[in-house]
Structure formats: structure tokens, C-alpha cells
């Protein structure tokens, strides 16, 4: 990141377009307008890619083409709105496990052309004035904070593994945990999610979804110290 002091970051959690929850997303956009953050990060699972999941699906729910066209439209609108309401904000797009689905399915069914998917995937996640990570493995670091989609479900585990403060999503369960490592106070902030649980692709079974929390992440640097916050939405 550039030399300019960064003191406010808003983080949008798992979006799962085109199955995002519009009401929650609108509240996040109002927060961007009000807060004028230095940085906005979308933490991955931008698209649900339900049609390319390996789970059993109702083939009549949507078509793969309709899902992708709508998802791309919703994501374009998300980023263009963020830039319109807060023009100085730097924008970053991470990728999550759902974003990897397309390539995984191709790799399973026709591995010979997996490399040909790279450009398609890149295009799907490219937006004007947004820095987009190349793959699920890519990490974003801003001012000693590590931003990842995440793959672990226990809050704090990514941070303990990285030995750094981490901002993540993935589990759809927002929260913050602090702990001490080597005399440093580290934290993990999970930013929750903003998808619509009533939509078929988000129905993972009540044992999982009952713990999910709508919200977003807010990081404010006060006296040189990052203050992580999970902001609940409903
Ligand atoms: Mn997700």
C-alpha cells in the first residue's frame, strides 16, 4: 500500500451474488458513504457459483447462464456504487472457496483445459479501479493486517497460524477475538456475511446456518492501534 496513512477500513463479507441480501448490502453502502473509508475490501465468495457446485442441485432453480449474468451485474453495481459514494476509497477484491468452484469443476471434468479458464476467471473478477487478487491463495496485507477469505471455522485459528492480526470471512459468523502472542496483542476479525439465507443456494442445513450473523467489518486506527469491530446488521 502507498505511504498515505490508512486509518479506516470497511470490510464486506461473503456476498454470494446473485443471492446477496439487498437490504444488508444497502446498509453497508450507507456506511461507506457515511464513513468515507480509506479502503474497502470484499473478503471473497463474491459469487456463489451455485451452478458449478458439486452438491446436488435443483436444476430448475436457475440456469448457469442466468445466475452468472445476474451475479456479474450485481458485483459491478456493488463496486461502482462504492466508488460513487466514496470516490477516494481504495478497493480490493479477494477470492473465496466459492470463487474457486468454476475452475475446480473444469479441473475435474476436463483437466486438459484448466489453464484456459484463467483468463475467464480473471475477467469475472476484474472491476474498474478495483485491485483483484488472482486466486483464493493470494493474500492482501495492509499496514500489518492480513486479509484472507479464510478456510477455518474457529475464530482465531487463522491468526494463530499466521502469527499476525487477520481479517477474514468464510464461516459467516462475525466476531472478534484478541490474544497475546510474544508480548504483542493480536486479533482475528471475522466480518460475517451479507447473503440471503432464505435462498435455496444458501440452505446448508440449520445446524450450520443458525449461527450465521449478518454484518460487516470496521477497522479504525486510533493512536497507532487497530481497533477491529464486527458491525451487526439485520
Ligand atoms: Mn461463504
Interval between CA 4 and ligand 1 midpoint (Å):
32
The three cell numbers locating residue 168: 477474514
Interval between CA 210 and ligand 1 midpoint (Å):
14
Interval between CA 223 and ligand 1 midpoint (Å):
33
Res. 177: pLDDT tops 60: yes
Residue where the block lists cell 477474514:
168
Interval between CA 96 and ligand 1 midpoint (Å):
7
* pLDDT one-digit tens code per residue, 179-213: 999 999 999 999 999 999 999 999 988 888 899 99
The three cell numbers locating residue 199: 435462498
DSSP reduced 3-state for 116: helix
Interval between CA 25 and ligand 1 midpoint (Å):
15
What does pTM read for this prediction? 0.95
Q: How far apart are CA 190 and CA 28, in angstroms?
A: 16
Interval between CA 203 and ligand 1 midpoint (Å):
12
Query: 11-20, 31-40, 52-61, 187-196: which has the minimum mean pLDDT?
Result: 52-61
CA geometry: angle at 168 spanning 29 and 211, to 5°?
Answer: 85
Interval between CA 46 and ligand 1 midpoint (Å):
8
Interval between CA 167 and ligand 1 midpoint (Å):
14
Task: Give residue 206's Cα distance to chain centre.
Answer: 22
Interval between CA 98 and ligand 1 midpoint (Å):
7
Mean pLDDT of 98-110: 93
Interval between CA 72 and ligand 1 midpoint (Å):
17
Mean pLDDT of 20-24: 98
Interval between CA 222 and ligand 1 midpoint (Å):
30
* pLDDT one-digit tens code per residue, 109-161: 999 999 999 899 999 999 999 999 977 778 899 999 999 999 999 999 999 99
Percent of the chain with pLDDT over 90: 85
pLDDT given for residue 3 in this prediction: 55
Mean pLDDT of 13-30: 98
Amino acid at each position: 500500500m502507498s505511504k498515505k496513512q490508512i486509518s479506516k477500513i470497511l470490510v464486506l463479507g461473503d456476498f454470494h451474488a446473485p443471492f446477496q441480501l439487498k437490504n444488508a448490502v444497502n446498509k453497508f453502502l450507507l456506511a461507506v458513504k457515511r464513513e468515507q473509508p480509506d479502503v474497502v475490501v470484499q473478503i471473497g465468495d463474491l459469487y456463489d457459483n451455485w451452478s458449478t457446485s458439486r452438491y446436488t442441485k435443483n436444476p430448475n432453480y436457475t440456469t448457469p447462464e442466468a445466475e452468472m449474468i445476474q451475479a456479474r451485474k450485481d458485483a459491478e453495481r456493488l463496486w461502482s456504487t462504492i466508488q460513487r459514494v466514496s470516490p477516494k476509497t481504495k478497493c480490493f477484491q479477494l477470492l473465496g472457496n466459492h470463487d474457486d468452484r468454476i475452475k475446480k469443476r473444469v479441473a475435474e471434468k476436463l483437466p486438459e483445459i484448466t489453464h484456459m479458464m484463467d483468463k475467464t476467471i480473471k475477467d469475472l473478477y476484474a472491476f474498474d479501479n478495483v485491485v483483484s487478487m488472482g486466486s483464493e491463495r493470494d493474500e492482501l496485507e495492509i499496514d500489518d493486517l492480513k486479509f484472507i477469505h479464510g478456510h477455518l471455522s474457529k475464530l482465531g485459528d487463522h491468526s494463530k497460524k499466521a502469527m499476525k492480526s487477520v481479517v477474514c470471512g468464510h464461516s459467516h459468523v462475525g466476531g472478534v477475538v484478541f490474544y497475546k502472542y510474544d508480548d504483542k496483542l493480536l486479533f482475528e476479525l471475522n466480518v460475517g456475511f451479507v447473503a440471503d439465507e432464505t435462498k435455496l443456494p444458501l440452505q446448508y442445513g440449520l445446524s450450520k446456518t443458525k449461527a450465521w450473523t449478518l454484518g460487516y467489518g470496521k477497522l479504525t486506527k486510533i493512536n497507532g492501534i487497530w481497533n477491529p469491530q464486527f458491525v451487526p446488521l439485520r
